[in-house]
């Protein structure tokens, strides 16, 4: 199993030319984190994650997390030590606010750090990811007392956070949840119910676990409008700020899963557990979406991080493995399989999609930074709209690609890839959860066509399409020869515009829902080509004439020729009505 080498040069290039880190760090909240400082931090993070965290990945998968008879959970050997070093190094606090002990770097730098953590060990990364979402929810909706009590320790990672949403009878339909919250005379609440699929609901990495729980308070309307959010700590916090009495929330079992074996996925039972209302009563769903939207970008990032790790291993194998004789090779000599066209196609498919994903997600994160920190109201609103549009693309397209690309990486390694000890199979297994996490990818597609496309009467998506069209014009003005990227981008944008116009005009809800998944995939493909073309143009304009910069143009050209045409093929599925989906009665679906 190969080591992980953080692709720092690629990451910095995207931060510079897509996320506009230079401009971002002129905002008053980020002036202390200029690109030189930020890049030095990323260099150090790269060393830390490759040296300390990456070696725990395979052993963690083999050992898994274990629930003990007393309900406690033991994580795999080496996890506590690696996590402690992560906390001591301050990586969890990198994007946290200064007033609560954070370093307040731009969120896009935090995303780059999280990419390296995820690639190093996806199962371990889920704990800091959910803690970050807990921080976001408290920062935006918690009381000042809650912020002062919990944020400093969550930011350091000394305490961790979770989301308690799902219940046995209520999966994606949170309106059906039944956990009850009853007010107490002292201002606290007593919560009773059961939650399932709780990532890091119990573990031994931290002194306390802060659960953000959805429950029903008395007097609320049925459905999602009657849900409130409560903060339920594993250990009640004393006046001195230290964890004290054990709360009445416990792990009753751990799930046995396809992948992410090292990540404890808990069934949590609450029996008159003490909780604290976050924000206003019956506003819990709105607050929870703050957490989920933050987590959705990070789940898309799981597709990127794990694909990068799998790609590095597949490339190393393809360079070293000799089999067959490539065209033009000397007779009697076996060639490295990287010289065979089909293997090269697989590797280039991985490389191009990984670079496209990174650009989409970093721009998504930079838009969130500007939405939260820009001085101009108009600029914040524009950035918020861009972030809203890109988030379902980042999550669904990115996590779907994670499954596809880890499968390709396994294929490159053939039978050895299918053998567990090489680690290739683990990447494939681990990646499969991401399309399910934080709102399935079908839900992301529905969100895109039903909520995001109609924003501002279609002006938000229209503005993005116009932006991509302008780049095609720039490519034409630059005199690209042959005009591969320009022509592919123009065709892709025209196709995406036709699909978008169709959906904005479509009044039949089922037809729009039927088109949602192919439309999201089309959007991701075209957006990926757009961002790769931007990177290729930036590489050309830099004036550098080395293999690394030339590879940017070559990668974009490969994407234009081999991947962008897939978008045109999806147009028929987008514009078709839903009739074919319902043509067979359920009782006849089985044959």
Total number of domains constituting the chain: 2
Enumerate the H helices of 422-483 as residue ranges.
Answer: 424-431, 441-447, 459-478
pLDDT band for position 544 (cuts 50, 70, 90): confident
For residue 319, tell me if it sits in a domain. no
Which strand (E) or helix (H) includes residue 158? Answer: none
Q: How far apart are CA 176 and CA 186, in angstroms?
A: 29
Q: At what angle do helices 547-562 and 509-541 cross, to 10 degrees?
A: 150
pLDDT tens for 49-95 read: 999 999 999 999 999 999 999 999 999 999 999 999 999 999 999 99
Give the range of the structural domain holding residue 541, as residue numbers without chain letter: 445-578
Identify the CA nearest to 96 among candidates 126, 52, 49, 134: 134
What is residue 332's predicted lDDT score, i.e. its pLDDT?
86
Residue 168 belongs to a domain with what CATH number?
A: 2.40.110.20
For residue 399, tell me if it sits in a domain. no
What is residue 173's predicted lDDT score, i.e. its pLDDT?
61
CA distance to 60, 62, 133, 211, 371, per residue, from 54 (Å): 10, 14, 23, 28, 33
For residue 355, tell me if it sits in a domain. no
What is residue 171's predicted lDDT score, i.e. its pLDDT?
58
Taking residues 574-581, what's their average pLDDT? 95
Identify the CA nearest to 17 among candidates 544, 560, 558: 544
User: Which residues have a catalytic role annotated?
Assistant: 438
Kindly tell me if the per-residue pLDDT of 205 is higher than 80.
yes
Q: How far apart are CA 541 and CA 8, in angstroms?
A: 21
What is residue 477's predicted lDDT score, i.e. its pLDDT?
85
What is residue 172's predicted lDDT score, i.e. its pLDDT?
59
pLDDT tens for 412-439 read: 999 999 999 899 999 999 999 999 998 9
Taking residues 339-367, what's their average pLDDT? 98
What is residue 291's predicted lDDT score, i.e. its pLDDT?
81
Kindly tell me if the per-residue pLDDT of 174 is higher than 80.
no
- Convert 47-62 to b/e letters by CB count within 10 Å (16 or more is b): ebbbebbbbbbbebbe
Identify the CA nearest to 303 among candidates 391, 389, 400: 400
Kindly tell me if the per-residue pLDDT of 169 is higher than 80.
no
Where a domain ends, among 230, 262, 282?
282
For residue 308, tell me if it sits in a domain. no
Quick one: CA dihedral 170, 172, 175, 177, positive or negative? positive
CA triple 17-13-3, angle to 5 deg: 155
pLDDT band for position 583 (cuts 50, 70, 90): very high
pLDDT tens for 143-160 read: 999 999 999 999 999 999
For residue 356, tell me if it sits in a domain. no
Quick one: CA dihedral 140, 144, 146, 149, positive or negative? positive
Q: Cβ(251)–Cβ(267) under 8 Å?
A: yes
3-state secondary structure of 380: helix
What is residue 278's predicted lDDT score, i.e. its pLDDT?
97
Kindly tell me if the per-residue pLDDT of 480 is higher than 80.
no
What is residue 479's predicted lDDT score, i.e. its pLDDT?
77
Taking residues 182-202, what's their average pLDDT? 97
Q: Whole-number mean pLDDT of the chain?
A: 95
For residue 566, tell me if it sits in a domain. yes
Q: How far apart are CA 291 and CA 163, in angstroms?
A: 8
For residue 454, tell me if it sits in a domain. yes
For residue 211, tell me if it sits in a domain. yes
pTM here is 0.96
3-state class percentages of the chain: helix first, strand second, coil last, to nearest 5: 60, 10, 25
Where a domain ends, among 257, 282, 307?
282
Identify the CA nearest to 122 among candidates 559, 440, 430: 430
What is residue 398's predicted lDDT score, i.e. its pLDDT?
98
What is residue 478's predicted lDDT score, i.e. its pLDDT?
82
pLDDT tens for 48-62 read: 999 999 999 999 999
Q: Cβ(21)–Cβ(134) under 8 Å?
A: no
pLDDT tens for 502-516 read: 999 999 999 999 999
Where a domain ends, among 217, 248, 282?
282
- Convert 454-483 to b/e letters by CB count within 10 Å (16 or more is b): eeeebebbbebbeebeebbeebeeeebeeb
pLDDT tens for 221-261 read: 888 888 999 999 999 999 889 999 999 999 999 999 999 99
Kindly tell me if the per-residue pLDDT of 395 is higher than 80.
yes
């Amino acid at each position: 199993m190969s080591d992980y080498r953080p692709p720092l040069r690629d990451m910095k290039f995207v931060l510079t030319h897509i996320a506009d880190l230079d401009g971002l760090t002129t905002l008053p909240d980020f002036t202390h984190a200029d690109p030189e400082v930020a890049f030095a931090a990323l260099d150090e993070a790269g060393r830390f994650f490759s040296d300390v965290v990456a070696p725990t990945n395979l052993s963690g998968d083999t050992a898994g997390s274990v629930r003990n008879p007393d309900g406690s959970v033991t994580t795999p050997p080496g996890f506590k030590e690696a996590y402690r070093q992560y906390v001591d190094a301050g990586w969890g606090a990198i994007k946290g606010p200064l007033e609560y002990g954070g370093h307040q770097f731009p969120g896009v730098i935090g995303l780059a750090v999280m990419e390296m953590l995820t690639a190093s060990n996806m199962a371990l990364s889920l704990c800091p990811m959910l803690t970050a979402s807990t921080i976001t929810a408290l920062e935006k909706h918690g009381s000042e007392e809650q912020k002062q009590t919990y944020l400093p320790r969550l930011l350091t990672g000394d305490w961790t956070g979770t989301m308690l949403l799902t219940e046995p009878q209520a999966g994606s339909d949170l309106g059906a949840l039944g956990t009850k919250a009853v007010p107490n005379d002292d201002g606290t609440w007593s919560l009773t119910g059961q939650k399932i699929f709780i990532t890091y609901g119990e573990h031994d990495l931290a002194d306390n676990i802060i659960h953000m729980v959805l429950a029903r308070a008395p007097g609320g309307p049925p459905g999602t409008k009657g849900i409130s959010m409560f903060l339920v700590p594993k250990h009640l916090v004393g006046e001195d700020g230290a964890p004290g009495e054990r709360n009445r929330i416990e792990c009753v079992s751990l799930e046995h899963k396809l992948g992410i074996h090292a990540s404890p996925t808990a069934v949590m039972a609450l029996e008159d557990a003490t909780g604290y209302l976050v924000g206003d009563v019956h506003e819990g769903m709105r607050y929870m979406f703050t957490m989920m939207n933050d987590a959705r970008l990070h789940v898309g990032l799981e597709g990127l991080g794990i694909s990068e790790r799998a790609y590095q291993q597949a490339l190393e194998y393809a360079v070293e493995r000799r089999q067959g004789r490539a065209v033009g090779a000397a007779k009697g000599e076996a060639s490295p399989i990287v010289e065979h066209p089909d293997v090269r196609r697989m590797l280039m498919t991985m490389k191009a999609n990984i670079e496209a994903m990174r650009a989409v997600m970093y721009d998504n994160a930079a838009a969130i930074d500007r939405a939260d920190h820009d001085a101009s109201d108009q600029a914040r609103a524009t950035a918020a709209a861009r972030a809203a549009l890109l988030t379902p693309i980042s999550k669904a397209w990115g996590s779907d690609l994670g499954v596809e690309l880890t499968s390709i990486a396994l294929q490159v390694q053939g039978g050895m890839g299918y053998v567990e000890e090489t680690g290739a199979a683990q990447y494939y297994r681990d990646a499969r959860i991401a399309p399910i996490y934080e709102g399935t990818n079908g839900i992301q597609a529905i969100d895109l066509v039903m909520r995001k496309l109609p924003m501002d009467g279609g002006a938000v998506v229209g503005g993005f399409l116009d932006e991509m069209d302008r780049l095609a014009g720039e490519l034409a003005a630059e005199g690209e020869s042959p005009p591969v990227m320009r022509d592919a981008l123009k065709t892709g944008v025209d196709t995406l515009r036709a699909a978008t116009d169709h959906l904005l005009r479509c009044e039949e809800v089922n037809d729009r829902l039927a088109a949602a998944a192919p439309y999201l995939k089309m959007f991701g493909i075209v957006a990926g080509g757009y961002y790769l073309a931007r990177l290729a143009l930036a590489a050309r304009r830099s004036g550098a004439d080395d293999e690394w910069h030339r590879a940017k143009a070559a990668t974009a050209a490969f994407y234009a020729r081999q991947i962008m045409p897939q978008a045109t093929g999806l147009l028929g599925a987008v514009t078709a009505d839903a009739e074919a989906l319902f043509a067979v009665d359920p009782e006849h679906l089985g044959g």
